Amino acid sequence: MPHPLGNPPSKIIAVHLNYPGRARERGRAPAHPSYFLKPPSSLSGTGETIVRPDGCELLGFEGEIALVIGSRAQRVAPQDGWSHVRWVTAANDAGVYDLRYADRGSNLRSKGADGFTPIGPRLLDARLVDPAALRLRTWVNGELVQEDTTDTLLFPFGQLVADLSRLVTLEPGDVILTGTPAGASVVSPGDVVEVEVTGGKLSTGRLRNPVAAGPSLKPFGAMPKADPAERDAAYGTAGPLVDPGLEAGLKSVAVATLSAQLRARGLPHMSVDGVRPLRPGSANMVGVAHTLRYLPLREDLFKRYGTGMNAQKRAIEQLLPGHVLVMDARRDATAGTLGDILALRAAKRGAAGVVTDGAVRDSAAVADLDLPVYAAGSHPSVLGRRHVPWDTGVPIACGGALVQPGDLIVGDADGVVVVPPDLAAELVADCREQERQERFIAEQVAGGESIDGLYPLGPAWRDVYDNWCKGETQ
C-alpha cells in the first residue's frame, strides 16, 4: 500500500545518532545532532518491497520513529519544537553500505534509492502521545532485534525541530527520521523487516516490508563494493567496542572491588550469581554484552523457534570482536546452552567471552578454547531438553542480574559483574584507590597491627597511609 502521507513532503531529514545504545555501538557520542537528506522519492508504505541491487551484500535496516511536521517551523525554540509536529509514525531508514563510499557524507545513493524509506502504516496524533514515552521495536523474520524508548534520547524531538529550524524552514508534511537504536544490522533477500511505534495504548501497527533481490546497476557510475570497515559498520559497530584504555583499566581491578564500588553507588545487584570460569586461571574478561534469551521448553513451539538458524545460532553469528555473549537460561543448569562447535565459532568471531546461568556441553573442549566462558555448570544434554532459544539483543536476567545490550561485562576468578558504561571510568579510578588502601592495610596486618580502626581505613591511620602512598609512587 502507498505511504500514509498522500502528497510527498518537500524533504526528508534523517538524524545520524540519537540513541545511547547506538552511539555506544558506533564508538562515539556526538555533542550535537547531525543530519543527512533522503529524497521524497524514497518513500514507500507497508507491504512494499525493499529491493537490494544485485552486487550489493550490505542492505541495512534501521527501525526509526518518523515525525511529520504539521505547521511551518522557522527559528523556533526547543520548548516549542514539539508543537510543530502533527503526526508520529514508524519508519525504516534502509540503505546499502556497499555504496556509502561513493557519496561519503551525503548518503544519496546508499540511502536514497526508491523504496528505501518505508513509513506507516498508521499516523499517530502527536497531541495524544508523550514524545518522551514512545517505544520503538523492530523485528526481522519475527525476531525482535531492536527495542528502545525515547526517554533517554541524546537529542529530544523538540530540540531536533528547533535545531533544524535555525537555518532550514520546516514545511507541513516534512519528515524527520529521528535515529535508530542499537541492533540495526543487515538483511538479505527473503527476509521481512517490521517496525512498530507505540505510545501508551496507541500503535502505528507494524510497518512490514519484505526484502527482495533486484537487477544489477548499470555501469554508468560508482559500483558496489564492500570492505571490512563497511561490513563492521553495516553489522552494527565501527572501531573497538570498548575503548582500549578503559578495557585495560577494568582488567587491572578485581571484580570483587568493582562489586563493592557498585554497591557503594546503590547498585548491590550487579553480580551474575552462580557462574564460575570454566577454566580457572584464564585471563580476565572485559567486553560489551550481546544478549540471548532462552524460554522454557514447549514442545509445540520448539520446531518453529528451536531448529534451523534459531536465535542461539543467530546470536553467535552476530557477535563482533569485543562482545560477551550473555545468556539467560533462567538459572536452569540441567541442559546445555553452549557446546564446543558454537563456542569455537564465537571465538573465531572475536568474542571476548561467554556468560550463561545455564550449563555448558562439551565442557573440556570448550575450556581448551582461547575464550573465557563462565557457566553455572556442565551437562551432557542438548538445550532442547529444557530450553527454547527465543530472542537476542533484548534486556535479560542472567544469574539474577539485569543485563542490557551494551552493558560492560567484567569477569575474573571470583565471577562476573555487570558495569553500566557511563560509570565505568569513575569506577576504575575508585577501585584503584580502594585496592591501594587494601594493600596498605594488608601490610600493616601482616606486621601484627590490629584491624580496629585500620580496616576500613580510619582517621588515625590516614597520615601514615598518605606517607606510605608517597613511597609507593617513588
Domains of the chain: 12-234 (3.90.850.10), 244-419 (3.50.30.40), 425-473 (no CATH)
For the stretch 233-280, pLDDT in tens is 777 665 677 888 999 999 999 999 999 999 999 999 999 999 999 998
pLDDT confidence band for 474 (50 / 70 / 90)? low
Query: What is the bridge-based pairing of β-strands 353-356 and 373-375?
Result: parallel
Share of the chain above pLDDT 90, in %: 76
pLDDT confidence band for 470 (50 / 70 / 90)? confident
In this prediction, residues 152-173 reach a mean pLDDT of 95
The C-alpha cell that represents 101 in the structure block: 563510499
Give pLDDT, residue 75: 95
- Supply the DSSP symbol for 419: E
Q: What is the 3-state composition of the chain as percent helix, strand, coil, each rounded to the nearest 5?
A: 30, 30, 40
Burial of 302 (0-12, 13-18, 19+ CB in 10 A): middle
Does residue 414 have a known ligand-binding role? Answer: no
pLDDT at 454 over 90: yes
CA distance to 89, 123, 125, 204, 257, per residue, from 129 (Å) = 11, 12, 7, 12, 44
* More confidently predicted of 163 and 226: 163
Share of the chain above pLDDT 70, in %: 98
Give pLDDT, residue 238: 55
Give pLDDT, residue 3: 83
* CA pair distance 410, 390, nearest whole angstrom: 25
pLDDT confidence band for 226 (50 / 70 / 90)? confident
pLDDT confidence band for 64 (50 / 70 / 90)? very high
Look-up of cell digits 514508524: 90
pTM: 0.58
pLDDT at 35 over 60: yes
Does residue 361 have a known ligand-binding role? Answer: yes
In this prediction, residues 22-27 reach a mean pLDDT of 75
Does residue 342 have a known ligand-binding role? Answer: yes
* CA pair distance 408, 267, nearest whole angstrom: 15
Does residue 227 have a known ligand-binding role? Answer: no
Q: Identity (one letter) of the amino acid at 77?
A: A
